[in-house]
Chains A and B, each alone.
Chain A
């Protein structure tokens, strides 16, 4: 029994779960799943040191542990706070948390361009999802939004800093996946920006992964930009024997018909990459014949991407006639038979001035 991992009991939103010591509150909440899992914009399980920055995953700790049941004075970042035995956490059951989270979402959005209609990330954007859940329909921000010039980081990646929410994920990715980091943060505060030194290109074999980790449309795939909307594409799991030993070769192809529009790494249900892939797989292999297709990718049915999807779709079996208990839907009737206006028999061009209902009624008589 000595080898058995020490289990901590933690209660999140009144649901108790046992997790190993050293698990973060966020990971414990993800084990419970559903709405209990706090949103995370900057934390990334596979990136060491990430998290704590966006503050969307703030939770209230109502009791620190069994040994020390005092509540924590401030809301804590669940991604960077480890569970203790007997800890009681409030996420969506805490008004304080919801209020703070709404505030954070508002902060993230005040300088975001909200150019979703022309953004390639739309449909698979973490910020979009977060704003649907927590954002307001209007903004209280009445100042010009912060803008930056677009930069090409080498032949494959474009950086559009205006959309960036400074999650630092790409910096960690470059730090941990490539040998030499050539991009980082310049400046500070609200004018801080992700940049390379004098627009140097990013050309490491694995640098393409920064596109996948980016929660917004700040880093986009130049081979895919403006080619298609993600919800028109059909995601397929595929693999190939990649010559790069570090590359898993396991990808998601985004197809329309036989044409491969883009290749991304596979993502889990939390939107995190499962295995990193190399630039060759991502940018160069754009033919179906390059890949062994395993089958359709399972997409959360709430996602907009599921709209064009074809597995597990439940079409309503009844026709409208059944739903309306045998009544005929009036809306589908010929409008002229029920409406007094705009009869085909009346020639509008012969009426002087604008037509009134009386013109038609007289005609009926």
Chain B
């Protein structure tokens, strides 16, 4: 049984409401921080914890906080990124729906560390009922003196506002989120300047994921050093994984990043194995935008070590033979799933969600989608596979924001590891409409020149 920090008390009846949450030890970290720590000490504590951004990129949170510019007389903002729209990721939703006060508590502590008197939660509009839950939690916190002016007599003021997005995936990108928060079209900004210098309304801004901010609470409670002892190497603490796909028990799990991928998929404590007694074909371990991995590379790294559920181990071997932790959207595919169709679905998503600002992403995502649709429906050509590879190569790294990369990686990885399945689709245009290729190149991945 791994250690639980965030979902420790999610089973308690009524934990969603203030009274129960407070009775169970909630808001202790706010008391501790406001009464005994300076903002810099809080940042140091987060630095010591080794907490990494849980939104996907895995950037050290403490370092991000220390980058925030502190010009005299200019307000600073903390924005909580709750625009969770990555296909396969639904961990923040669980956290906000069942333990909203954990996020509010984390927000107050983080706002204190960053000196943000006005803090925003940017939440995707589709989470309509969660917005009500959060607003209720904010009202409860305010009524009990955890928000507003001069909190606990410390002289620190803080207000939290919930801002709902209008359903664009791109608004999960921090600069697009800031634009959207300002009431503009959600187009990513060109960096630099970074939000830590010029963010919302040109003020220094830090944007953090829901889970990151919630994790600040246990860090303060048990101290950064203690938090850093959990996990392996630079993957410290616990991580929420939203597992879905062809597994027996899909859902949100908290792991301490020391368990192996094999254990995570097959143990009864977590996913409980592949559904209907089928075999594992492939897995997308971190949400739709990270590279897909075939079963053999998923369970063992290229060096033959057991692959663990943490940042380093999942990305071991680079993109040629590894993947990424991403946002923790763990999608499992069994032997009957079609990788081509799966890739097409993702490509369709990215085409739909591209903001249209920069050319490679705007034109390339649509092009990839059309080619993949052709291959999927038996109208593809052999040259299309190489063309897809070339298109993704020209999108990757050449766009303003990471959406271009996110659109390119799944296509690249699918071709890299499952090229034979793409070729089978081209060679069997009728058969591919009626049945799936089955277990692809299970044992031996194709050796292919990679980007």
Contacts and interface: CB of A to CB of B under 8 A. Distances in A.
Instruction: Please say whether chains A and B are actual partners in one complex.
Output: yes
Interface string A152-170: 0000000000000110100
Given A100-B394, A108-B363, A166-B362, A77 B190 contact: yes
A140 B356 contact: no
Interface in A230-248: none
Contacts of A184: 185
A106 B356 contact: no
Interface residues on A, range: 20 to 34
B363 A110 contact: yes
Interface in A317-344: none
| Most A-side CB within 10 Å, residue of B356, B362, B363, B399 | B363
B352 interface: yes
A143 B356 contact: no
Interface residues of B, number: 30
B398 interface: yes
Interface stretch (A5-13, A52-60, A345-353, A356-364): A52-60
B362 A104 contact: no
Nearest to A81: B192
B367 A110 contact: yes
Which of A75, A165, A191 lies at the interface centre, i.e. has the most chain B CB atoms within 10 A of its CB?
A: A191
A54 B358 contact: yes
B359 A166 contact: yes
A107 B357 contact: no
Nearest to A105: B359
Interface in B160-216: 168, 170, 185, 190
Contact of B359 (A80, A108, A191): A108
A52 B352 contact: no
B358 A55 contact: yes
B16 interface: no
A3 interface: no
B355 interface: yes
A352 to B, nearest CB: 50
Contact of A190 (B170, B363, B387): B363
Given A107-B364, A189-B353, A190-B365, A165 B397 contact: no
Contacts of A185: 185, 356
A187 B185 CA distance: 10
Nearest to A41: B359
A54 B190 contact: no
Interface string A256-286: 0000000000000000000000000000000
Interface of A: 51-56, 58, 74-75, 77, 80, 99-100, 103-104, 106-108, 110-111, 140-141, 143, 165-166, 168, 184-185, 187-192
Q: 8 tightest CB-CB pairs across the interface, nearest first? A: A103-B394, A192-B356, A107-B363, A52-B190, A190-B366, A189-B354, A189-B356, A74-B397
